[in-house]
Structure 1
Amino acid sequence: MTSENLTHVREDGSAHMVDVTEKAVTTRTAIAEGFIYTRPDVIEKIFDADLPKGDALPVARVAAIMGAKKTPEIIPLCHPLPLGKITVDFDRGDNYVRVEVSVKTRGVTGVEMEALTAVSTAALTVFDMIKAVDKYAVIEGIRVLEKSGGKSGDWSVTDKPASEGK
């Protein structure tokens, strides 16, 4: 692949921030998910707010929101965006916690990175809160589920052909 195919690479091969100044302001959303796998007894402790470090889910929710807001500070080529809404939800499984984050803005570029950063931050926070009771917990499956707004249009993982794999 040559540099003319890569939006964040100049002809000389150096990285740069893409110019979005001429892009239309539209409402943009992204939803991402991720999973923290642990033992069933630890899932019970998480949802009963009975961990040695305290109640993990409210802490992870605030961490996710903070992570989304700080995305351009930790992902080098991301544009700072005025985030209008961030929703963080947790679903309980027998041996996992599923994190889902929805991020919304009116801006000139999408919020997929903010949603992914929020999910990652929430998952890392849950891991930190449970590591005293399960140091073998695993974080997996962080991905964008859907996005809307912008020139490339709307899409969802349910739109992806089976031939494209996971």
Structure 2
Amino acid sequence: MSEFSHLNDRGEANMVDVSGKAVSQREARAEAFVTMNEAALTLIEQGGHHKGDIFGVARVAGIQGAKLTPQLIPLCHPLMLSKIGVELELQRVQGRVRIETRCKLDGKTGVEMEALTAASVTALTLFDMVKAVDPGMCIEGLRVLEKQGGKTGHWTADEVADV
């Protein structure tokens, strides 16, 4: 694809017309990382935070974020998501938490933005819950890992790693 899909013939922003597209099963995975200090990692690992289950709250926030994507990103279509998954993994050696999200549906448009929004909101919620212990945390590495379905078929981030 060599043109921006959200611009009309006059270069104005517009929502893409997907009415003529075929319904297909579509899926996308995204990831993000939250790097933090040892004290924050230990607090998460031991589950002793006064705000409760940090990963549980962040997971629910990510799911909610995916569902709210069209209200946050102006030209996104409202979608009937059939699956939203959010996984969090404490990676102590790297000093971070890895977030991986997965969104799925049968529809006429992809779910990359929903997967990215889920990862972003999960990371932001994790940051919010732990910021008193480590205000210097860093959210990084937000990207789409994989997408499937639609006209472009199956794509993985590994395919563009050499570009």
Work out whether the TM-score is over 0.5.
Answer: yes
Partner in structure 2 of residue 138 of structure 1:
138
Corresponding residue to 2:55 among 54, 57, 67 = 57
The C-alpha deviation readout for 1:31-87, integer Å capped at 9, x for no partner, is 000000001221121122222332210000000000000000100000011100111
Contact 2:31 2:145 in 1 (8 A): yes
Partner in structure 1 of residue 46 of structure 2:
48
**Where does the alignment leave 5 or more consecutive residues of structure 2 unmatched?**
none
Number of aligned residues = 160
User: 2:69 matched to 1:71?
Assistant: yes
Change (3 A) 1:97 1:161: closer
Change (3 A) 1:130 1:161: closer
SS at match of 2:82: strand
- Root-mean-square deviation over aligned CA pairs: 1.3
Letter matched to residue 72 of structure 2: I
Letter matched to residue 86 of structure 1: I
Q: TM-score, normalised by structure 2?
A: 0.94
User: 2:81 matched to 1:80?
Assistant: no
Contact 2:39 2:133 in 1 (8 A): no
Q: TM-score, normalised by structure 1?
A: 0.92
Q: Which segments of structure 1 move beyond 4 Å, counting only runs of 4 or more?
A: none
SS at match of 2:32: strand
Partner in structure 2 of residue 126 of structure 1:
126
Query: How many Å apart are 1:91 and its aligned residue?
Result: 1.1
Identity of aligned residues (%): 50
Change (3 A) 1:38 1:73: same
Partner in structure 2 of residue 104 of structure 1:
104
Query: How many Å apart are 1:161 and its aligned residue?
Result: 4.8
